[in-house]
Amino acid sequence: MTNYLNDKSFLKGLVIIVIMLLLYPYLHSLSSFSKFFQTKELYLKDKAHVYVRDIEDFDKKVRRISDKLDIHPDWLMAIMHSESKLDASLVNYKGSGAAGLIQFLPTTAVSMDITVEQIRNLNHIQQLDYVHEYLNEVKKVRKIDFENITDLYLAILYPKAIGEDMDFVLYRKPSQTYQNNSGLDEDHNGEISIADIDLRLKRLYPSAYQANVSRLRFSFAFYVFLLLGILFLARKKIPLQRIQFRIKYLYRKLQHEIQLRLPNKS
């Protein structure tokens, strides 16, 4: 019978698995690497003060649902400000019937078993639940991740445009949808394209536009190391050189993520 206590491969695997299981609650609670680099002060928080009563709870909830959606909180604040100036009771004055933080259309509200009138009567923190529900549904239906702030804004304006080329046109003059969104036509050519949306966000919200989200997840690292432990337990030989290569790759990726979040000195 094999003496497992003298089997170095078995002991290595056992140690790795025990350590990873002990660390799992902490890694799981962190959920994503980007939490370490969130903006210290919530973007446009000073603008939200005008309308939000409990600003600290609002701050926490914006960050929480941003993490669930795997987006930067600056993106969410920017698009809500663009749509409603962060006034949760705002109604579209051009007649579309849209209302709320992200200007929910009546048809969108009905799909979530609520009306725009009811949405308007919710406070900011309550309304954020519907913001999350809507954006999460777009992610699931479109089977995408929001890679940047423009993608996130398109999820509100025209979800089918996500992933299309910059010259893709959302609305054209003289349609009513163009009239309702004419302020988005950056070059005033009678068409609202993805390029117009992107340029407008870059011009109005440069800080949010430049913000990035790390896709390096601790949960992924957890399962990688857990698998490594299992392989050791199974006494499979893992070339040391290959392990060193992977560690160096992850280290370089980590350095790159940190540099992306350092303040721009220019």
pLDDT at 226: 65
Question: What are the b/e assignments for 107-128, b being 16+ CB within 10 Å?
Answer: ebbeeeeeebeebbebebbebb
**Which residues, including other chains, have CB under 8 Å from residue 77's CB and lie 6 or more apart?**
42, 43, 44, 45, 48, 62, 86, 208
76-125 per-position pLDDT tens digit? 999 999 999 999 999 987 778 899 999 999 999 999 999 999 999 999 99
**Type of residue at 106:** P
Give pLDDT, residue 93: 78
Residues in the chain with pLDDT values less than 50: 1-2, 4-5, 29-37, 216, 238, 265-266
pLDDT for 264 equals 56
pLDDT at 37: 44
Taking the C-alpha atoms of residue 48 and residue 45, their distance in angstroms, rounded to an integer, is 5
What pLDDT does residue 40 have?
73
**pLDDT at site 4:** 47
Residue 249: count other Cβ atoms within 10 Å of its Cβ: 10
Q: Which pLDDT value is given to residue 246?
A: 65
Q: Which residues contact 202 (CB under 8 A, 6 or more apart)?
A: 209
Backbone angles phi, psi at 192, to 5 degrees: -110, 110
pLDDT at residue number 240: 52
Query: In the prediction, which pLDDT does 193 show?
Result: 98
